[in-house]
Chains A and B, each alone.
Chain A
């Protein structure tokens, strides 16, 4: 299993990671070798095996519909890189 340079670029775009050319090469190589390793799973016949998406036999965990006071806005915003008018400020969308 190898992974192409273009696939690395596509995945990096999906993951919002700006990669340098050198990194793309490195990731292509490393991901390729890991994917080759995980391909071992294809040896196993898993026909009819129910995928295990939740390990605990637990269902219907709920909270009641009750409002609790929100923390102070200053606390919520305290770690923000940039704030204006009580809101997070971000550069233009497009």
Chain B
């Protein structure tokens, strides 16, 4: 029997405001434990939330980027559950009236386009962090750090439109790209500012009703997400084939064992008892507010892709890679301000640059190469001052040091010799030293020039402009 996989994702994105959603604590990552906390975000008695306007602004921006309808009325609700990292024992979230709904994103996978529905995107506060000594199941105690408590989150819930772990990944990457362009989040999975839970089910091919789903939590990287979904799909198929029933439950991805494991315990009782948050008046989002934000929306990746294909004649493939992140595109755009050939810039970025970034596991914001320096290097090639082979070496040095190409060439003494007088002198010396080879050439053995060019190159330690050498040599030999 063949099976179809059905996946829906709940993606949590931390919004990059300066302060938290309901208090004035800093929203920076990586501070000492419990130093970005106050009585409000640690849930002290008598404390009340006050909404950060920028959070709503970002949510609307994100909603527009996700092609959502922006609600004109929305409110907050309390989601009740006990956990040591949830200080009030309720999370302020949005239940029935989210800020964004009914959106979509188009993904491209295996050469085909596909539209993934977005059910809703709502605002909520993040919880704190539990630090375990060892694994959660063996640790005798845990420590609670509330720095993350109250960080603004947008939870984006997709329709169950995804059919494979690769599609899920493409969708996640698209969300990341779109939100990076909108400028509402830095979407760093390694810092938890982009996270996702996956709802996974399988059904016999052709069956209309959905199978029972499980929810996988703790997916901290694209790789973990793909592996966890693949594992879970296989587990469910095997269970069904063995005649077992799938239980609707929450499972966690265990990175070290590479398996999903049930998180159910007898003590658990799930019933979030949502009700309207009495401490926060509702929101009325005027059309004017939304229109103002539309006016201020930056270019989105799809527009950018069309633009650079148009302006620089790039292939769809190259253009889509260049528009993965606004920083990558920004580098490209900066280069094209000073250099006419976008295709060549694209080749260098997709080739050498991506290769080196991957090797060093860096992203482009950490790249030392200045776009202007890359352009300078390309111009040096055009002027014939360096060869393509030398350029690769220069590029690597630029990547290492961030120095301008001129300085590198100078330091390494690797400038190409294109001065005709200098070359002519060297060539005449080579001709004088090799009378027999010249003789051979004049007797019709045309291949003999190869040897003579080699000698010139050796004499100039490879810096002679090869085209020019060939030209001058032919002239001298034939005269």
Contact = CB atoms under 8 A, between A and B. Distances in A.
B53 to A, nearest CB: 4
B34 A77 contact: yes
Contacts of A92: 139-142
B137 A65 contact: no
A93 B137 CA distance: 7
Given A85-B143, A88-B84, A93-B139, A73 B53 contact: no
A76 B142 contact: no
B144 A63 contact: no
B271 A93 contact: no
Contacts of B115: none
A63 B50 contact: yes
Contact of B25 (A13, A16, A54, A70): A70
Interface of A is mostly: loop
B201 interface: no
A67 B137 CA distance: 37
A16 B81 CA distance: 10
Interface of chain B, main secondary structure: loop
Contacts of B297: none
B33 A85 contact: yes
Interface string B65-85: 000000000010000001010
Contacts of B283: 59-60
Nearest to B50: A63
A37 interface: no
Interface stretch (B273-281, B321-329, B345-353): B273-281
Contact of A90 (B35, B52, B144): B144
A26 interface: no
Contacts of A54: 75, 276, 278, 281-282
Interface in B16-46: 17-19, 24-27, 32-39, 42
A87 B18 contact: no
A58 interface: yes
B39 A65 contact: no
Contacts of A13: 267, 269
Contact of B26 (A56, A67, A90): A67
Contact of A66 (B24, B38, B284): B24
Contact of B281 (A60, A63, A71): A60
Nearest to B35: A73
Nearest to B286: A60
Interface string A28-46: 0000000000000000000
A14 B56 CA distance: 32
Given A60-B283, A66-B19, A87 B51 contact: no
Contacts of B27: 67
A90 B53 CA distance: 35
B303 interface: no
Contact of A94 (B36, B131, B137, B282): B137
Contacts of B51: 61-63
A10 B54 CA distance: 41
Contacts of B139: 92-93
8 contacts: A61-B280, A64-B53, A65-B19, A65-B54, A76-B37, A93-B130, A93-B136, A93-B139
Interface of A: 10, 13-14, 16, 53-54, 56, 58-68, 70-71, 73, 76-77, 84-94
Given A63-B24, A64-B54, A91-B140, 9 more contacts: A54-B278, A58-B281, A61-B281, A67-B24, A67-B25, A70-B38, A76-B34, A84-B143, A93-B136
